[in-house]
Structure 1
Amino acid sequence: MTTDIVLNIAYVDKSFSGLHALKDVNLQVEKGKTHAIIGPNGAGKSTLLNVCIGRLAPDRGTVTFNGEVITGKSAHEINQAGVVRVFQTPEIFHDLTVLENVMIPALATRDGSFKLNPFVRMDAETDILREAEQALEEMNLLEKKHMHAATMSRGDKRRLELAMGLVQHPQLFLLDEPTAGMSRADTNATIASLQHIKERGMTKVIIEHDMQVVFSLADKISVLAQGQIIAEGTPDEIRGDPRVQEAYLGGTHHE
């Protein structure tokens, strides 16, 4: 394996009650690239991410991050190693302000634990405040930093969670449906923000049904169908692959 491979998924199988969710999945993510995983509902995309972050143990196979096998490590250990995932349903603190939401993971990353009270002299944490505001600016949310998160639109809540991930300085950023439920205007704004992050060279894996998002951001695309990788290539190669058109892009499944 070359040093340019950040994430290496090798021969991964996962079954639930005898049903194969993943079958012999092999996938490599290169440093600084945006790698999209697409496929119809039930293809195994979220299961694959859960295996990568330690929420699920594979029945067979290994996941390697930066040359180290992380299979068998806890989700907390994998996160501390630099793998950050943003989930399909926003996981934010609705009773706190937008800024406070981003300061909490920034403090946790610095301290290495959520056990410490993040509200102790939070207003005095100027370095954390600066990092949180920078992450919000990258997601075009800085002007809303004093809003309570509960009052935000769904699109803004999604971008808030992206900011909460960014402030942890991930070495590998896993995005599960980052534009799910967004209006087209919100989706376009999120694409622009993610393109800006891409220019910084951050390594990302994106699960997404919106092909505008995928083709705007991805350097490489892997296509999952019934738990197996059926095609892999550049956006142009995937557009023209008849297997992909049949299984996803041009089939009966529409998102």
Structure 2
Amino acid sequence: MSNVVLNVSDVQKSFGGLRALSDINLQIESGKTHAIIGPNGAGKSTLLNVCVGRIIPDSGSVIFDGQVLTGKKPHQINQAGVARVFQTPEIFPDLTLLQNVMVPAFARRDGAFRFNAAIDLRSEAELRDEAEDVLQDLGLHDLRNHLAGSLSRGDKRRLELAMCLIQKPKLLLLDEPTAGMSRHDTNRTIELLQRIKGRGMTKIVIEHDMHVVFSLADRISVLAQGAIIAEGSPDEVRGNPVVQEAYLGGAHL
């Protein structure tokens, strides 16, 4: 596979007697959207947690853009160009939408989540303009002065995505980005992710909704009981009888 930007090699992770990940090998191509699917408990979120430094694997390595991520702290991995949207939106509910987006903007500039008073106000104004542009792009600009805690679930997910996009990541990890959404909000999220696909950003998507997966993915890996049992294009995975049996008890995807 050419132009691999993320290389997960021989990763294993156990929790007590439970083998969560077993000899995971995964290569993600630059600029592509790679979906990871599988039944509950397959190890999908554990794999993402390994990639972002929240879980240290028992063995194996994760290399992103030529840098070894294994053993690094989550903030170091974030600074290397990896951002993540979580299953439950991680926002600041008592801040406005604009303030929420400016927090990671300051972090990207200063290298830590802090405000540097020594930096002139013109630089802050530039960050504010950039934050407003991102909110505009995600259809949230009219709500920029509203408290984030007042948003619907779908808008909270879009806000968290805005907080990731302003960091200008090279790799975006989305952990069930449409979980709990109405069909209307799900379709809006699909349209949004399709729109940003042309920006050259690599994305990994964990998702149970097959409509979302087949709408977005260039390639799909299937996890079951902590191991990759199949990988291929959406059409290849859709027609794979092993996947149908493991994922849907033999029903067609």
Q: Mark yes or no: TM-score above 0.5.
A: yes
Instruction: Tell me the equivalent position of 1:152.
Output: 151
1:172/1:203 contact within 8 Å kept: yes
CA displacement 1:32-56 (0-9 Å, x = unmatched): 0000000011000000001001111
Instruction: Tell me the equivalent position of 1:110.
Output: 109
Q: Distance in 2 between matches of 1:229 and 1:124?
A: 46
The number of equivalent residue pairs is: 251
Mapping for residues 155-234 of structure 1, pairs under 5 Å: 155-234=154-233
Q: What one-letter code is carried by the residue in structure 2 that aligns with 1:55?
A: R
Give me the CA root mean square deviation: 1.9
Instruction: Tell me the equivalent position of 1:49.
Output: 48
Instruction: Tell me the equivalent position of 2:92.
Output: 93
Q: What one-letter code is carried by the residue in structure 1 that aligns with 2:213?
A: V
Identity among equivalent pairs (%): 67
1:12/1:62 contact within 8 Å kept: yes
Mapping for residues 1-16 of structure 1, pairs under 5 Å: 2=2, 4-16=3-15
Q: Distance in 1 between matches of 2:114 and 2:84?
A: 20
Q: Distance in 1 between matches of 2:122 and 2:85?
A: 26
Residue 237 of structure 1 and its aligned partner are, at CA, apart by 0.7
1:223/1:231 contact within 8 Å kept: yes
Q: Secondary structure at the match of 2:214?
A: helix
Residue 129 of structure 1 and its aligned partner are, at CA, apart by 1.4
Q: Secondary structure at the match of 1:127?
A: helix
Q: What one-letter code is carried by the residue in structure 1 that aligns with 2:15?
A: F
Distance 1:122 1:40, change over 3 A: farther
Q: Distance in 2 between matches of 1:37 and 1:108?
A: 29
TM-score w.r.t. the length of structure 2 is: 0.94
Q: What one-letter code is carried by the residue in structure 2 that aligns with 1:110?
A: R
- Runs of 4+ aligned residues of structure 1 deviating over 6 Å after TM superposition are 120-124
Q: Distance in 2 between matches of 1:137 and 1:158?
A: 15
TM-score w.r.t. the length of structure 1 is: 0.93
Q: Distance in 2 between matches of 1:103 and 1:5?
A: 31
* Structure 1: runs of 5+ lacking an equivalent: none
